Amino acid sequence: MPVRGQGSAGFEAVGSVAVRTFAAHQSPGPQTARTAHQSMDGHHVNAMAGDGSGAPHNQFADYDELPEGHFYDPDAEYEPDPEYAATLAPDAARQRRERIGPTGRPLPYFPIPGPLTDHGPAKIIAMCNQKGGVGKTTSTINLGAALAEYGRRVLLVDFDPQGALSVGLGVNPMELDLTVYNLLMERGMSADEVLLKTAVPNMDLLPSNIDLSAAEVQLVSEVARESTLQRALKPLMSDYDYIVIDCQPSLGLLTVNALTAAHKVIVPLECEFFALRGVALLTETIEKVQERLNPELELDGILATMYDSRTVHSREVLARVVEAFDDHVYHTVIGRTVRFPETTVAGEPITTYASNSVGAAAYRQLAREVLARCHAE
Ligand SMILES: Nc1ncnc2c1ncn2[C@@H]1O[C@H](COP(=O)(O)OP(=O)(O)O)[C@@H](O)[C@H]1O
Ligand SMILES: [Mg+2]
């Protein structure tokens, strides 16, 4: 790990966010808006290059893979360009020591988790936002895969009838005989019959397909309909360290089932203008479930996704989100990159598809942050 803040460069008492605003405003185009960053071994990489718009790319364009052996450290992204830093005020040393992250807060160090000697009982996390396209499924797959890489036993539950989580892990939902629907609706059905192993060691999947949409209707007349998933997951708790439920984009009965089963909620928010719309309704739903069905339920964090540090808009939205949710916002922020849509086509997580990419590093950091939050309790 290189010593950070080498030399006497300093910068004003502004967050790295402001630093970037400056860079973006000063620059005529994306080419010059880029700043050089250092990876953990001092190798210069460019994390912000490329936008898929056909603009000229450098060799690491669009969060592309780094050379073999160069593990990308997302923390390094917050290093200002050395030339620019040299023009700034002497507050830099402190800022670098405190490592201001993209959320504008000091970035804590999230330790690499140690190995586990035994597994379970599982912590259940619901990935939830009634808005579609905010990164729920992507975050479920990649947080799960990163936790599994750290030796945690992980079960992913596809709880969206669209089956995107299953597709994202290379499963064709149309070909499934048994899905989470059968597990929910058929008494005596054991989870082992439905479980699929994924290509990621330590990570299993409860797949789903359009059948699950019928459950929403059929559950209405069930006794204790809100806790159906909780009951179905109970026998699996001792086998896993983390169970992550990918919710559908609604606040209907399936989502309420996920919230009732869960210990924690992660809310992915796309860094776009309407990000905060509907979040009040979501937090209200979480509170209602907390009061009436599941007093253990907690909001673990808000995850900013599809963040583009080159746009003022993205930075402003992120600042608004932090203003609204404070410490609930994860320090880890997921950048926007075409690598994620690519992984869906490939049917595997980014941690294996593009192991050295910035996206993979971001989800590994998120896994460490989630683990750190769990251990802090
Ligand atoms: N960080 C990201 N950068 C770019 N595209 C992303 C990112 N995260 C997700 N996507 C893409 O955005 C779309 C919606 O993401 P998805 O995870 O399916 O959201 P949701 O499950 O909330 O509907 C998908 O095509 C996905 O590949
Ligand atoms: Mg989804």
Whether cis (ω within 30° of 0) applies to the bond prior to 113 is: no
Least confident of 12-21, 164-173, 267-276, 336-345: 12-21
* Distance separating alpha carbons of residues 191 and 233, to the nearest angstrom: 8
CB 27 within 8 A of CB 21: no
> What's the 168 CA to ligand 2 centre distance in angstroms?
10
Asked if residue 346 has its Cβ within 6 Å of ligand 1, the reply is no
Taking the C-alpha atoms of residue 173 and residue 187, their distance in angstroms, rounded to an integer, is: 22
The three-point CA angle 196-200-201 to 5° equals 90
Q: Specify the residue for token string 């869960």.
A: 262
What confidence tens digit (pLDDT) does each residue in 130-166 have? 999 999 999 999 999 999 999 999 999 999 999 999 9
Model pTM? 0.78
Mean pLDDT of the chain: 81
pLDDT above 90 for 28:
no
Residue 96 clears pLDDT 50, i.e. is over it = yes
Query: Above pLDDT 90, what percent of the chain?
Result: 65
HSE at residue 156, side-chain half, CA atoms within 13 A, is 38
- Secondary element (H or E) of residue 230: helix 228-233
Strand-strand pairing, 242-247 and 154-159: parallel
158-197: pLDDT as tens digits = 999 999 999 999 999 999 999 999 999 998 999 999 999 9
Q: Which of 314, 340, 363 to mutate to test the pocket of ligand 1 (most atoms within 8 A of CB)?
A: 340
Answer yes or no: is pLDDT of 71 > 90: no
Domains, in order of start, for the chain: 16-98 (no CATH), 123-375 (3.40.50.300)
Our answer on whether the CB atom of 248 is closer than 6 Å to any ligand 1 atom is no
Ligand 1 pocket member 250 (CB < 6 A): no
* Phi and psi torsions of 223, nearest 5°: -75, 140
Tokens 């997921």 correspond to 334
Residue 200, C-beta contacts closer than 8 angstroms, at least 6 positions apart:
144, 145, 148, 149, 348, 349, 351, 352
**CB-based contacts of 243: which residues, under 8 Å, 6+ apart?**
122, 123, 124, 125, 154, 155, 156, 157, 233, 236, 237
**Averaged pLDDT, 238-253:** 97
Q: Ligand 1 centroid vs 343 CA: distance in angstroms?
A: 10
Ligand number, closest to the Cα atom of 314: 1
Q: Could you give the CA distance from residue 75 to residue 163 in angstroms, rounded to a whole number? A: 34
- The tally of CA atoms less than 13 A away on the side-chain side of residue 119 is 17
What is the CA(377)–ligand 1 centre distance, in A? 30
Asked if residues 212 and 179 have their Cβ atoms less than 8 Å apart, the reply is yes
Residue 45, strand partner residues: 37
CB of 135 closer than 6 angstroms to any ligand 1 atom: yes
| Any atom of ligand 1 within 6 Å of the Cβ of 336 | yes
Confidence of residue 309 (pLDDT cuts 50, 70, 90): confident
